[in-house]
A and B are shown apart, each in its own frame.
Chain A
Amino acid sequence: MDPMAEIKATFFQECEEQLVELESGLLAMDAGDDSSETVNAVFRAVHSVKGGAGAFGLDDLVHFAHVFETTLDEVRAGRLAATAEVVKPMLRAADILADLVRAARDGGFVDPARCETSSAELKKITGIEDTAAADDDGMDGLVFQPMQVALPPIGDAPASGAPDLDIAALLAAAQPEPEPAPAEPGGWTLTFKPKAELYKKANETVLLLRELARLGDVEVELDASELPLLPHLDPEGSYLSWNIKVRGPAPEGDIREVFDFVESDCDLTVAPIGAEGEDASGLSADDVAAIASAEAELDIAALISRAQGGIAETSEPVGQSSEQQPAPVIAPAPAAPVAAAPAPAPAAAAPPEGREAKAAAAAATIRVDLDRVDRVIDLVGELVINQAMLAQRVTEAGMARASSVAVGLDELEQLTREIQDSVMAMRAQPVKSVFQRMPRLVREVAAVVGKQVRLVTDGEGTEVDKTVIERLTDPLTHMIRNAIDHGLESPEKRIAAGKNPEGVVRLSALHRSGRIVIEVADDGGGINRERVKNIAIEKGLIAADAALTDEEIDNLIFLPGFSTAATISDISGRGVGMDVVKRSIQELGGRISISSRPGLGSTFTMSLPLTLAVLDGMVVTAGQQTLVAPLTAIVETLQPRRADVSNLGDGARVISIRGSYVPLVDVGLSLGYRSEPLDAEQGVALLIEGEGGRRAVLLVDAIQGQRQVVIKSLEANYRRVPGIAAATILGDGRVALILDIDALVAASRGTEAPRMLQAG
């Protein structure tokens, strides 16, 4: 790739990150967060997009970003308040910016009228008509210093001898000019060091700290410096202590009262803020001493995060704090006050936890082309097949299980699995990227249908394969639209029903037994079963006299051609029904089910595989063919007795399992591998559980064994075959088809056209 193309690709990748940052920042602002950190991050996102776009001559993008940036700059400078009237148009602008970026990347096109409307909206807010984006010369009168640099040959020793100390001191020097310190509200500085007895008496430090937080503005710093390495750690010992600042008017007595019950089991000091050598700059004596004693023992990271802590706290300007005098600067710079003499050095305190954790989370990532990861996944897939083939050869060669070759192979299998898991983890991403698109959707839909809605999300950090995430957006979007449009009642109806006028839509994700479960729940009126049934009869989906259970009625909404909307609103009625949602979930190897309670709401539950690449399967034979049944669907395997099987006529059979009757599916017959039904006693039965807990028994000729198989899409390589989910390559090189359990279960129930199967 030529270097510019490569940089451009990087640019678009970074844009995606910036756009996410932009949206989440704006959403935070919309929720009332107007901290400079947030506003700055939002500004920086737009600014970065614009900067890069300029370099690649993406003029539309630059112009739009420029207007957007101007608005944000007004907010950043405090000239414009981040009210809803300001943030909402910016959210719309963020959408357009995203579209412009994607259009620039994929060669698409964004309606200029949309950009114009949004631009005009933003300009109206700021009252700034147009600032030329490229008035390069407003810099007259500025004099720049040429550098009289003596250029030493490259490779000279670093200019500085003691970089560790320097960074700390320099970071302190790099602080913004100290502004007059705001008057301290007064308060207390505490050091709290529990003894082991405190814990033995079942006291909880976190409760004490929480109690303190009631008394004022609390800053808590954990000192973990005495924490020994694991081998030396006494699990019942006490190693942690806390430095706490309580700001506010609370009297000392109140502070001490918090520790009333534990006073004898801890070391506690309480002193007024300021009395502990804290200078006006906001740096405590500890900080100064820590920086001063840096050379002695402190590691650089602790210092940096300490110094950074000061940077973030704009309310607490930090001044010069080290004994080192700042060197005179070339141009006049405001003189920084020199700190008071440092106090005796106490033990180094740990850096504020939150910041450090955040920094650690942001660090240590590399960008890898997805194709490369997929190539590795493919190769590992081949490796798994190869390993399986090898294992089979070894067995065929009659080697004992205890032979060194067999043992070695077992180890290889273990390793292969681990490699596979690790590679899969590379493709895993938190569902957050999908979830965070939903708040905007909820707002927009709620506004259109005139309902009050609160979206609650949970488990955003749950990880799943990138492809699953990408293909989850559409079904989720549709389900949330549905939940608001059809699920929730109007505020008037809710009030009449004694509910909060604001409806709640809950979106959650969690891992459960090797799958990811995503739920969309609403606290609306639940499914109107009477209406659903009538519609289904009207549309000829079910017979007028069909006797259906509540669950079966609820599931009617997944049938193709079903739509409950009496009028096609422009929200849900876009010709996409729940059947499409169901199909897209199934295409991902997932299941979807609904549970609904009248008056209390409905919950849609989707269960999806974590990866689309491998599957634990049971290899079976049916009518000379080798097939694979997904292990997750199999409840148990059993040897049927002829007496347990009853004929219902019409070729349908049921089998009695511990007193309950379950439909029997003759796999060979359903898939057309044989023309005569298999005698149940000649075969093996697999009790399977499909979507919504519906059970069926698959009758096959024999079980070959259990193994992990690499999924090869049948659709991509051949075409969609009803009853078959995908294909795989077995250890002996043969191709085997993977059964679509849900389709088979549905067929056995007769709810989903068994003829579909026969057609295959």
Chain B
Amino acid sequence: MPAAASISVVVVDDQQTMRSLVRTGLQQLGFKDIREAGDGEAGLRQVLTGTTHLVISDFNMPKLDGLGLLRAIRSHEPIRGTAFIMLTGRADKELVQRAVQFGVNNYLVKPFTVAQLKEKIEAVFGPLT
């Protein structure tokens, strides 16, 4: 039963709109430590340079895309235990399947509600307190 406030999150999306929406949702769920990155590369830096328990990342981004970010995280011992939730624009099974191969922990289809966000995070970490 992890407390939301004890989980630090990095939100990666090239759209400020989407980052703000995820951030607002997370804040409503009690998350406190939320960092943002505008592309996969910046996301990777964020994960490497600060404690990160969860990455919520868009798939389609310029530079390093979501799948690339996931692979990078999973291939590096010190951070491979970081949970990863993929944001997708539509229920693209093929894409999610590939992400599963690389060890994604869950996915979230845009647009999402705060309840859906909570559900997906809880599917990864167990019920939030």
A residues near B (Cβ < 8 Å) are 3-4, 6-7, 10-11, 14, 40-41, 43-44, 47-48, 50-52, 54-56, 66, 69, 133, 135-139, 142-147, 149, 151-156, 158-161, 163, 166-167, 169-171, 173-176, 304, 308, 311, 326-327, 329-333, 367
Contacts and interface: CB of A to CB of B under 8 A. Distances in A.
A327 B51 contact: no
In this complex, the interface size class of chain B, counting residues with CB under 8 Å from chain A, is: 35 or more
Contacts of A170: 44, 48, 72-73, 75-76
Nearest to A7: B20
Contact of B91 (A40, A138, A158): A138
Contact of B103 (A10, A326, A331): A331
A11 to B, nearest CB: 4
Nearest to A65: B89
Contact of A135 (B48, B63, B91): B91
Contacts of B45: 163, 167
Contacts of A10: 16-17, 20
Which 6 A-B pairs give the minimum distances between C-beta atoms?
Answer: A54-B111, A330-B103, A174-B72, A174-B68, A170-B72, A11-B17
19 contacts: A3-B20, A14-B16, A40-B60, A136-B91, A136-B109, A137-B91, A142-B96, A144-B123, A167-B48, A170-B73, A173-B72, A174-B40, A174-B64, A327-B76, A327-B80, A329-B103, A330-B74, A331-B103, A333-B74
A159 B64 contact: no
Interface string B103-129: 111110111100000000001111000
A50 B83 CA distance: 27
B81 A147 contact: yes
A40 B14 CA distance: 14
Interface in B61-87: 61-64, 68-69, 71-81, 83
B89 A50 contact: yes
A159 B103 contact: no
Nearest to B50: A158
B71 A51 contact: no
A55 B44 contact: no
B14 A174 contact: no
Contact of B44 (A156, A161, A167, A329): A167
A167 B112 CA distance: 31
Given A139-B96, A144-B123, A329-B103, A154 B20 contact: no
Residue among B18, B89, B105 facing the most chain A CB atoms (10 A cut-off): B89
A149 B9 CA distance: 13
Nearest to A135: B91
Contact of B48 (A133, A136, A166, A173): A166
Contacts of B62: 41, 44
B29 interface: no
Nearest to B74: A329
Given A10-B17, A174-B44, 20 more contacts: A3-B24, A10-B16, A44-B14, A47-B60, A50-B89, A51-B15, A55-B112, A139-B93, A139-B107, A142-B96, A143-B100, A147-B81, A152-B51, A155-B51, A167-B45, A174-B64, A330-B74, A333-B71, A333-B101, A367-B16
Given A55-B110, A154-B51, A171 B101 contact: no
A154 B33 contact: yes
Contacts of A167: 41, 44-45, 48
A265 to B, nearest CB: 40
A146 B124 contact: yes
B17 A55 contact: yes
A57 to B, nearest CB: 8
Contacts of B83: 147, 149
Contacts of B53: 149, 151
Given A52-B17, A158-B50, A329 B80 contact: yes
A142 B100 contact: yes
Contacts of A304: 41
Contacts of B51: 152, 154-156, 158-159
Contacts of A308: 41, 63-64
A145 B20 contact: no
Contacts of A147: 81, 83, 105, 124-125
A7 B17 contact: yes
Contacts of A145: 103, 105
Residue among A14, A171, A367 facing the most chain B CB atoms (10 A cut-off): A171
B113 to A, nearest CB: 10
B37 to A, nearest CB: 13
B8 to A, nearest CB: 5
B38 to A, nearest CB: 10
A87 to B, nearest CB: 21
A248 B123 CA distance: 54
A200 B72 CA distance: 49
B69 to A, nearest CB: 7
B17 A149 contact: no
A329 B15 contact: no
B16 to A, nearest CB: 5
Contacts of B90: 66, 133
Contacts of B48: 158-160, 163, 166-167, 170
Contacts of B52: 159
Contacts of A56: 111
B100 A331 contact: yes
A138 B93 contact: yes
A156 B52 CA distance: 10
Given A10-B16, A152-B51, A154-B8, A330 B126 contact: no
A158 B68 CA distance: 21
Residue among A167, A174, A175 facing the most chain B CB atoms (10 A cut-off): A174
Contacts of A175: 68
Contacts of A7: 17, 20-21, 24
Given A144-B105, A144-B106, A146-B124, A171 B96 contact: no
A151 B6 contact: yes
A120 B70 CA distance: 38
